[in-house]
Chains A and B, each alone.
Chain A
Amino acid sequence: MAEQKAFKTAGLMKDLMAKYYTKGKESREKGIPVAWVTAVSPVEIFYAAGLFPYYPENFGALAAARKVADKLSMVAEARGYAHDLCGYARCGIGDAYADEHPVGEIVKPDLLFCCNTQCGSLPKWFEVASRFYNAPYFLLDSPQIGNEPDKLCEQYFIEQLKELISFLEEVTGRPFDYDRLKEVLHLSNEACRLWNEVLDTAALKPAPFGFFDACFHMAPIVTWRGTQEAVTYYQALKEEVNERIKEGIHAIPDERYKVYFDHIPLWPKLRWFSDIFAAHNALVAVSQYTHSWAYSFDLERPLESLAENYTEEFVNRCFDYRVQLKVNFMKKYGCDGFVLFSNRSCKPNAYGLYDKRNVISSITGLPGVVFEADMSDLRFFSESQIMAKLELFFEQLSSR
């Protein structure tokens, strides 16, 4: 298969991520506290408080992509952390105890902050880490909500943001800067807007950009969201995607179908998957995963707006809401089928997929398949089983 033309912006990404890791080290030297944070959490508060937010999940994904997740995991397993726990957590805990650090050492926290919208693994992992590193831990608790926004949960979230702010004021010894928060929220808005405009180009037929591209380009929206760096990055990416549209460069050579994918990719097999789909002329166009960062904050009501955006995020929603979300994405992007990944690591996204497949098919009439594996750990990867499922799926696609 013809090699796809690489994104120029990829170079920028390399610099940006290198800068991110140096910044972690520099912060420590300058006495700026390093705060561990989670991917779907109001990181804006931390930038506004002048702390350096560090994303251990990103460390897990990196270890997975470099195919060393099992090595780090085994260090944790030797201590009784079972291999069925979330792969990111296993990598993080493993690295804490490990003598060898194949992807560099995880940056040690001065404090830990977890928002449990996403899952129950992060709060437990961070609890373990807070004992290990002997650093204070703050859990922002977010009960699951249904189809509609939930006032009770929003109120709870706001109250906790206030508790968090007092906690950070104590850590930093300075009053919280609400003006700075506005600036940060504005930068988050901008980055989210640009990112989603890029994602939306996957609806064009043929499209210049797809899910696997998004997996590559998503690191800044997670780790730099709330800074000018993220905005600059996505401006550049958007420009490049627009150029590609003009020049007729497509994500895959001969796009005939569009596919919806749920949820996180198999990091160590990203290339393998993207090649298989491309070989079958199917563009994986969209996933709820890469759309997780689509915030729009009201600068006049910062705390309320943070609470609305984060509690109403799909990771914090019930079964039916998530079904509807997937169906809406399939419609918006003109999908011809869907592939759901039952990810052993990520229980909250895996549980329910068997029933969701049936419900989605009956609503949309589209073919769909569920396959089993782990996002980071190749010990749970069976190429033949997954191929068999995908082959069947591709047959259904072509016979539509």
Chain B
Amino acid sequence: MSSADIYREIILDYYRNPRNYGKIENPDISERDSNPLCGDELEMHINIKDDKVADVKFTGKGCAISQASASMLTELIMGKDFEYVKKLAKEDILDNLGLQNLGPARIKCALLSFKVLKTGIYTYLVDNLKDTESADKMKEEVSGIY
């Protein structure tokens, strides 16, 4: 992808004015990860109520791609059914960002927040829902993200 296609108005806008930026006190899901290669950092907090995402926030540091994609991901899942969020695939995320053809180095930036989300869901499935079967599937999915 050319830079002009990557750094579109919308990506820059979410990078400079991130939506849902911040923390939730005592969240149901709290997960963080970093990309040691770039030093991108990301932490995501989620509250689940009535099987829906009642609230989601993120904090982080890093490149425009990683930060904008995190912010857009929070918007994508806010208020949605937990089942829907569980089933989200990485293609959905890249489609949502309009970044389907990123190279191997930068795709990690775009999917860091997605990896954090899925890892958080995994922990939630294990600790709160005791749903080991779904958790195992989720674990496999996480290791296949990149």
A complexed with B? no
Which residues of B does A touch, CB under 8 Å? none
